[in-house]
Structure 1
Amino acid sequence: MHFATHPATVRLRAGLPVVAEIGWAAGSLWISSTLLDNWPDPHGYWRTPDAFAYGLLAAIYLPLVLRRRFPVAVLCSTGLCVATYLTLGYYHVVAVCGLATALYTVASLRPRRVSVRCAAASLVVFLWGTRLAEPGIGALSVAFVTVATLVCWVVGDGARRLRELTRRLRLEQEEKARRAVTEERIRIARELHDVIAHHVSVISVQTGLAAYVFTADPPTARRALDTVGDSAREALAEMRRMLEVLREEGPGPATATGPASAADPRGVPGLGHLDELVTRVGEAGVPVEVRITGTAYALPPGIDLCAYRVVQEALTNVIKHAPEARTTVRVDYGADEIRVRVKDDGSGRAPVRTATGAQRAAGHGLIGMRERATIYHGTVTAGPAPGGGFEVSLRVPVPRTGGDEADAVRTRRR
């Protein structure tokens, strides 16, 4: 067991504040009693200390042990004892420290509306004691006790506000941590959905095809089973890449500079893997045509992955809901944005009457696509296409450096 969490250590740590309060109260009482007994008074300014004076000092300082549990009650008790002590004319300096400590405690633990009233009452008691000051320093005593009261209140109130600020910061940090955990869970769920849904859909279609033609057309069945194996291996590879990214503490492939596909063909998927995706979907029986307009340029890795996943999810939905449809994937590289559109002709798709119905049909996939696009200030729309069929469209702004934009302009001019 770790020393810091040992039960004896926990009990000791919990008891230290109590020991400190007892030591503070007892030490203050001892110092005050010693000063009262030994303070010289050759001119007889103050009343001779007696047993009642020492009893009042004990009543002033000993309750300070409970000042953090009952700050207002201890202040009232201490104030009454100090007022009695000063009224009887004993040496005044040794009593006021207890009331100042009680005032600081109230200001540090109670709301301002309470501590201000307590400060005003304490100031009245302090001013009452200034009549016992030595001749000639009455005005100085009034100024001193006024400033001392303000200092005690201001310091205590500042400690209270600092503690409240610390508590709010801690709560904000805990809330940020909870949000980060939630966002990470959503990100993991999104990645799992994108990886598994597509490959499982391909595997399901190809398995059905292989079973259907297993006896009548063995070569087709073998090709279907090969596609099943390739899809399974690619799904496992993507799962392993995702787990590696999650295990890394530093920036992973998704945050590196430049597209992952350009640095490592087996890295995080991007539009560089679009041909492989289309080939795999075509083997599942869905013919796909790819059209690229504009001059292709390196996308930031996050946007590259976002575009790829949107195309992947849209094609997965085609496999599920319109396996006989001809599909077109259009990628438009704009100067400051990229647009991706996946449209099928609707062959074999059940009719969708409204956009709301389309959203329900897309399910978590559409939600995941929109979440991805929102991260990069993009938009995703999905619904029935004007000419029939279904269309998914992505638009994401692409931050470009001055050099990149100039290169793109020169390339277009050529």
Structure 2
Amino acid sequence: MATHPATVRLRAGLPVVGEIVWAVGSLWISSTLLHNWPDPNGYWRDTDGLAYVLLAAIYLPLVLRRRFPVAILCGTGFCVAAYLTLGYYHVVAVCGLATALYTVASLRPRRVSLRCAAAALVVFLWGTRLAEPGIGALSVAFVTVMTVVCWVVGDGARRLRELTRRLRLEQEEKARRAVTEERIRIARELHDVIAHHVSVISVQTGLAAYVFTADPPTARRALDTVGDSAREALSEMRRMLEVLREEGPAPARAAASGPERPGAGVPGLGHLDELVKRVGEAGVPVDVRVTGTAYELPPGIDLCAYRVVQEALTNVIKHAPEARTTVRVDYGADEVRVRVKDDGSGRTPARTTSGAGPAAGQGLIGMRERATIYHGTVTAEPAPGGGFEVSLRVPVPRAGGDDADAVRTRRR
């Protein structure tokens, strides 16, 4: 019902109806007061047709006060001044000018509304000459306070409306920024999941086709690796879709999920063995060295480090499939460092470019985006002794002491 055309038209027409009711009702009340107000002492001019015409000219144009606030105030002020100059009962006319002043203060900048308030005050002060004897000073104070109150309330309404508009714009901007960040996050996850597994599948499929007749056992192992990689890719895709469908912050869900088997939960450095094994089966020998006292990383940082290693190894598979590669993980007291370096054997010329420029691919961009989220840094550049090196450094907030694990050095 809220979006029905008739409902929309009715909602759009309600403000206009309200203005008409306000203007006509104010004219009726003022005319009734003017007709019935007793004047035994003859303070004011006798009521005649001109008085009612002036009242109509004061109140009926208020229907358009929100569309032409300054013009309506000028016209209303002129009619009120004429009404007061002729000496008619003054009280019934001042409400129209007060309403027009409030409207200007609520819709126009302060420099305009202040001038209009000063002009309205002059008209009001002119009308105080009709006050009953003995209350002239009180009448002056009353119209001054009334003018100030009308302006202050109107200006406050304007500022509140502007604040509401700014807040709405900020909320819309935050929503757009959140959507953009979510799109980037999804694109980064899709790239990290798909690129690695597809690279492994491509290499293993080529190997299986090459030795399909000459070495059936090797071809079978390659096809088994293809199947495992495809299943893991599907599993990670399914996990990511589940995260997108659920409500609540993704990091909280990731933290709550806890460490699980690869493909079922959020991957991290604890799954490094499976990653290295898969890359090794693709024909890239990898040495893994873990130094420092290992401890549990926050889920987001753990995933960040894992994805950087995964992307770096994927690039080795694509650009230097014959290179020997070293993965080094260093647990510092307040940071974790990850370095992936290959010796450059079999590297294609395009891979020797740095990752900092137009040549940088989506993977290197994704690495830097992930590291930036956690106030870390990533460098991807040719190594001094040949080959290519990707380094990640991420600060780790530590609430307590280290979880003592043995320093491990593993070779794959």
- What band does the TM-score fall into relative to the shorter chain? over 0.9
8 Å Cα contact 2:292/2:330 also seen in 1: yes
CA distance in 1, matches of 2:369, 2:51: 75
Q: Give secondary structure in 2 for the equivalent of 1:404.
A: coil
Higher helix proportion (structure 1 or 2): 1
1:158 alignment partner, one of 156, 159, 163 = 156
What's the counterpart of residue 248 of structure 1? 246
Q: CA shift at 1:350, angstroms?
A: 2.9
Counterpart amino acid of residue 160 in structure 1: R
CA distance in 2, matches of 1:7, 1:27: 30
CA distance in 2, matches of 1:281, 1:411: 25
Q: Give secondary structure in 2 for the equivalent of 1:392.
A: strand
Q: CA shift at 1:260, angstroms?
A: 3.4
Partner deviation per Cα, 1:86-108 (whole Å, 9 max, x = no partner): 00001100000000000000111
TM-score where L is the length of structure 2? 0.95
Q: CA shift at 1:81, angstroms?
A: 0.4
8 Å Cα contact 2:204/2:226 also seen in 1: yes
Q: CA shift at 1:40, angstroms?
A: 1.3
CA distance in 2, matches of 1:265, 1:182: 26
What's the counterpart of residue 410 of structure 2? none
What's the counterpart of residue 344 of structure 2? 346
What's the counterpart of residue 313 of structure 2? 315
Q: How does 1:61-100 map to 2 (within 5 A)?
A: 61-100=59-98
CA distance in 2, matches of 1:340, 1:258: 25
Counterpart amino acid of residue 223 in structure 2: L
Q: Give secondary structure in 2 for the equivalent of 1:297.
A: coil
Q: CA shift at 1:258, angstroms?
A: 7.2
8 Å Cα contact 1:254/1:260 also seen in 2: no
CA distance in 1, matches of 2:85, 2:179: 63
8 Å Cα contact 2:239/2:264 also seen in 1: no
CA distance in 2, matches of 1:347, 1:363: 21
Partner deviation per Cα, 1:127-163 (whole Å, 9 max, x = no partner): 0000000011101111110110010011001101111
8 Å Cα contact 1:336/1:398 also seen in 2: yes
8 Å Cα contact 1:330/1:340 also seen in 2: yes
Q: How does 1:46-61 map to 2 (within 5 A)?
A: 46-61=44-59
1:279 alignment partner, one of 262, 271, 277 = 277
2:184 alignment partner, one of 183, 186, 191 = 186
Q: CA shift at 1:261, angstroms?
A: 2.4
What's the counterpart of residue 370 of structure 1? 368
Q: Give secondary structure in 1 for the equivalent of 2:333.
A: coil
8 Å Cα contact 2:289/2:329 also seen in 1: yes
1:404 alignment partner, one of 396, 401, 410 = 401
Identity %, equivalent residues: 87
CA distance in 2, matches of 1:315, 1:302: 20
Tell me which of the two structures has the higher relative contact order, counting C-alpha pairs closer than 8 angstroms and 6 or more residues apart: 2
8 Å Cα contact 2:128/2:136 also seen in 1: yes
What's the counterpart of residue 173 of structure 1? 171
Partner deviation per Cα, 1:328-366 (whole Å, 9 max, x = no partner): 000011111100000000001134697546755551110
What's the counterpart of residue 14 of structure 2? 16
Q: Cα gap change, 1:211/1:78 in structure 2, threshold over 3 Å: closer, same or farther?
A: same
Partner deviation per Cα, 1:149-205 (whole Å, 9 max, x = no partner): 010011001101111111111111001100000000000000000000000000000
What residue ranges of structure 2 are gaps of 5+ in the alignment? 408-412
Partner deviation per Cα, 1:301-332 (whole Å, 9 max, x = no partner): 00000000000000000000000000000001
TM-score where L is the length of structure 1? 0.94
What's the counterpart of residue 208 of structure 1? 206
Q: How does 1:17-36 map to 2 (within 5 A)?
A: 17-36=15-34
RMSD of aligned Cα (Å) = 1.9
Q: Cα gap change, 1:8/1:149 in structure 2, threshold over 3 Å: closer, same or farther?
A: same
Counterpart amino acid of residue 197 in structure 1: A
8 Å Cα contact 1:254/1:301 also seen in 2: no
Counterpart amino acid of residue 310 in structure 1: V
Q: Cα gap change, 1:94/1:268 in structure 2, threshold over 3 Å: closer, same or farther?
A: same
CA distance in 2, matches of 1:170, 1:295: 49
CA distance in 1, matches of 2:383, 2:95: 83
Q: Give secondary structure in 1 for the equivalent of 2:380.
A: strand
8 Å Cα contact 2:280/2:286 also seen in 1: yes
8 Å Cα contact 1:258/1:301 also seen in 2: no
Counterpart amino acid of residue 93 in structure 1: V
Aligned residues: 407
Q: Cα gap change, 1:190/1:256 in structure 2, threshold over 3 Å: closer, same or farther?
A: closer
CA distance in 1, matches of 2:133, 2:386: 104
Q: CA shift at 1:8, angstroms?
A: 1.4
